Amino acid sequence: MTHPRTVLVAGAGIGGLAASIGLANAGFRVLVFERDPVPDVSGAGIQLSPNATRALAKLGALEALAAKSVEPEELVVSNAINRALLATMPLGRTMREKFKSPYLVCLRADLYEALARIAADHPAIELRYGSMLEDFAAHSGGVSVKTERERKSEEIAGAALIGADGIRSAVRAKLHPGTGPRHGGMSAWRATIEGNLLPQEMRGKSQVRVWLGPGAHLVHYPVGDGSRINLVAVTMERQATESWGEEVPQEEVARRFAHWDAIPRAVIETAPQYRRWSLFEAPLLSAWGRGAVTLLGDAAHGMFPFVAQGAAAALEDAVVLAETLRSAEDTDSALRAYERIRTPRTQQIQSAARNIGRIYHLPMPLSFGRDLVMKRIGGAGLMRQNAWIYSG
Ligand SMILES: Cc1cc2nc3c(=O)[nH]c(=O)nc-3n(C[C@H](O)[C@H](O)[C@H](O)COP(=O)(O)OP(=O)(O)OC[C@H]3O[C@@H](n4cnc5c(N)ncnc54)[C@H](O)[C@@H]3O)c2cc1C
């Protein structure tokens, strides 16, 4: 029998955990199925803009996370070939005052931990690691799912199924066959290093640094207690790799930046090795879900990371989903209402991320025009351009 207040969640990533907490706080019993036997917290650092920290505050996770995060003073964008300063956007107090929530940077593992701890301690949430969603069937009044754990199958009924199972979502594949992720022809190379390894000019700065070069860019910022630095370098790569987070020696990454200025090149050369992520985007869907089933996070709107919004959008989804379902009489209609709220905003963010990627990677001589515009609009212009994201 379907329990009217039981929601099933596929995936205990950032989105699945956040949704579980939101739904449990809204009075639901939540069962979360996570394929991995132990949480995968790979992926180094993450930026959390004010819209993300606002969602985290609503979920009760901000305070614990803020204690393990850095609140950088500014975001500095430079040309990676000639080192020209293009724009400086204030973060820190300016962000707090303007958007009523902080702009933080942290380790993904700390974000995961903050959410996982709340979920594990919540009496209404059951987290089942090593439990893979195999199949599901929606019917009038709810949904039945089939899961596999230690080679044993189980069937469970619930009032709704939330597919928070990432960019290669099985829930999405069944609802919308043929809409799997599209490779963007790019890879991200990630590493975390000790801050004292940075070139002298870059040490001890409370900054998110962005370096733009033809067909490539580099982002670095302090994480944890501020003594470690997260590096993300992005290059154009025709071929996607099968593995997620494959380890690669530094030389293989550094040779792609041989034509860059000595300082950003030296930053790249500090890491002994990198992990590689081929970058994918989820094609747009006109409707995310059907009946008692919906999607959340990357499963719904996987995006390129160039506006640092994938996890932020998943956190926003979670808050809206919980608010929409809280007092709903009819679950299916509430899920459609959630999708109507979230679809336009997430499509707009996906598109912004795509466009920013193109602008970041402009070849010469087009990059001269970009640099002129960036210098003219400066940090205030960047802030104006992104305000709709941060205030959402
Ligand atoms: C290089 C890079 C940098 C980024 N930087 C930022 C940033 O600065 N700020 C930001 O906001 N975002 C950033 N992102 C994006 C962010 O990491 C993702 O958008 C976010 O992690 C998505 O969360 P999710 O919960 O939707 O998916 P995931 O984190 O992928 O979680 C999905 C979960 O579902 C599980 N699962 C899959 N299939 C099944 C199944 N069949 N049954 C059960 N469980 C299943 C998986 O094991 C996984 O745990 C970045 C991404 C990249 C690649």
Residue 1 lies in a domain: no
Question: Is there a single domain that holds both residue 351 and residue 367?
Answer: no
Q: Measure Cα distances from 320 to 73, 262, 340 in Å.
A: 30, 46, 11
| 392 residues of the chain, pLDDT tens digit each | 456 689 999 999 999 999 999 999 999 999 999 999 988 776 689 999 999 999 999 999 999 999 999 999 999 999 999 999 999 999 999 999 999 999 999 999 999 999 999 999 999 999 999 999 999 999 988 999 999 998 999 999 999 999 999 999 999 999 999 999 999 999 999 999 999 999 999 999 999 999 999 999 999 999 999 999 999 999 999 989 877 778 999 999 999 999 999 999 999 999 999 999 999 999 999 899 999 999 999 999 999 999 999 999 999 999 999 999 998 999 999 999 999 999 999 999 999 999 999 999 999 999 999 999 999 999 999 999 999 999 98
188-218: pLDDT as tens digits: 999 999 999 999 999 999 999 999 999 999 9
Q: Measured in whole angstroms, how far is the alpha carbon of residue 135 from the centre of its chain?
A: 26
CA 220 – CA 238 distance, rounded (Å): 24
Are 170 and 33 in contact by the 8 Å Cβ rule? The answer is no
Question: Is there a single domain that holds both residue 140 and residue 175?
Answer: yes
CA of 384 to the centre of ligand 1 (A): 28
CA 233 – CA 210 distance, rounded (Å): 10
CA of 238 to the centre of ligand 1 (A): 22
Residue 230, judged by CB atoms within 10 A of its CB (0-12, 13-18, 19+), counts as buried
Ligand 1: list residues with CB < 6 Å: 10-16, 33-36, 40, 43, 46-47, 52, 132-133, 164-166, 170, 188, 190, 232, 277, 297-298, 305, 308-312, 314
Whether the link from the prior residue into 102 is cis, omega within 30° of 0, is no
Question: Is there a single domain that holds both residue 119 and residue 80?
Answer: no
Structure tokens at 194: 């000790």
Beta strands in the chain (DSSP E): 6-10, 29-34, 45-48, 74-79, 85-90, 104-107, 125-129, 131-139, 142-149, 152-158, 160-163, 182-194, 207-213, 216-223, 228-236, 246-249, 273-281, 293-295
Question: Is there a single domain that holds both residue 268 and residue 121?
Answer: no
Q: Residue 225 sits in which domain range? A: 74-104+182-281+357-390
Question: Is there a single domain that holds both residue 132 and residue 222?
Answer: no
Provide the CATH number for the domain around residue 194: 3.30.9.30
DSSP state of 11: -
Number of domains in the chain: 2
Question: Is there a single domain that holds both residue 227 and residue 363?
Answer: yes
Residue nearest to atom 49 of ligand 1 (CA): 13
CA 49 – CA 390 distance, rounded (Å): 6
Residue nearest to atom 41 of ligand 1 (CA): 133
CA 200 – CA 96 distance, rounded (Å): 30
Question: Is there a single domain that holds both residue 233 and residue 270?
Answer: yes
Q: What's phi and psi for 173, nearest 5 deg?
A: -60, -35
Residue 225 lies in a domain: yes
Residue 322 lies in a domain: yes
User: Atom of ligand 1 at shortest distance to CA of 108?
Assistant: 17
CA 246 – CA 154 distance, rounded (Å): 33
User: Atom of ligand 1 at shortest distance to CA of 33?
Assistant: 43
CA 32 – CA 244 distance, rounded (Å): 23
CA of 261 to the centre of ligand 1 (A): 33
CA 22, 24, 29, 30 torsion-angle sign? positive
CA of 370 to the centre of ligand 1 (A): 31
pLDDT in the model for residue 67:
95
Question: Is there a single domain that holds both residue 289 and residue 369?
Answer: no
Question: Is there a single domain that holds both residue 35 and residue 55?
Answer: yes
CA of 14 to the centre of ligand 1 (A): 6
CA of 35 to the centre of ligand 1 (A): 13
Residue 243 lies in a domain: yes
CA of 211 to the centre of ligand 1 (A): 25
Question: Is there a single domain that holds both residue 127 and residue 224?
Answer: no
Q: What's phi and psi for 375, nearest 5 deg?
A: -65, -35
Residue nearest to atom 15 of ligand 1 (CA): 310
Question: Is there a single domain that holds both residue 124 and residue 160?
Answer: yes
Residue type, 309: Q
Residue 378 lies in a domain: yes
Question: Is there a single domain that holds both residue 19 and residue 128?
Answer: yes
Provide the CATH number for the domain around residue 313: 3.50.50.60
Residue 323 lies in a domain: yes
For residue 36, is it left (φ>0), alpha (ψ between -120 and 50) or beta?
beta
